[in-house]
Amino acid sequence: MLHSLQHTTKFLVVIALGALAGCASSQTGSSTLAMLPASLSSERGQTADNAFLTALNGGIIAPVAGNTLSERDLRKALEAEYNALEAAPVGQSVAWTNERSGLSGEVAAAQAYQVGSQNCRQYTHTLRGSGQPIVARGTACRSAEGTWTPLT
């Protein structure tokens, strides 16, 4: 019985990874950056990290937050997403706050796993402000250049 359960579990993992590999390979070099304000990548004094934030393509929170996020909120949210994906231990939240807008959020990433040559992580981003929290869930994979791109 235990052997059968282990075999079934391995089979399901292989199927899931195969499905994700198809998603990862559908990524193209030209991503839609409509969710990002143009000034995000052109602010004076910004460092090379803009390429890493731009690759997040609005992350997983921007599409569900709509017009709720200001430029500053979006930047803080994307920095938290990147930091959670890149370096946070499994389940440890990376928090962000914008005292000007009163919005805050936290991002927690799951265990990294391999899809082809890419490292991927599932993650959750919770946005708090006025009203009910907004929760977004997604998966992002890390490119050879070190950028994280959410799977769509």
Residue spans per domain, the chain: 32-150
CB 90 within 8 A of CB 111: yes
Instruction: Return the sign of the alpha-carbon dihedral for residues 23, 28, 34, 35.
Output: positive
pLDDT score of 38: 40
Least confident window among 29-33, 75-79, 81-85, 106-110 = 29-33
Per the prediction, the chain carries an average pLDDT of 74
Report the predicted TM-score, pTM, of the whole model to 2 decimal places.
0.68
CA atoms of 75 and 56, how far apart (whole Å): 11
Question: For the segment 95-133, what is each residue's pLDDT rounded down to a tens digit?
Answer: 999 999 999 999 999 999 999 889 999 999 999 997 889
Distances 116 to 18, 19, 24, 107, 144 between C-alpha atoms, Å: 9, 11, 9, 25, 12
Q: Is the dihedral of CA 33, 34, 39, 40 positive or negative?
A: negative
Task: Look at 18-22, 72-76, 85-89, 90-94 and tell me which has the smallest mean pLDDT.
Answer: 18-22
Mean pLDDT of 59-70: 88
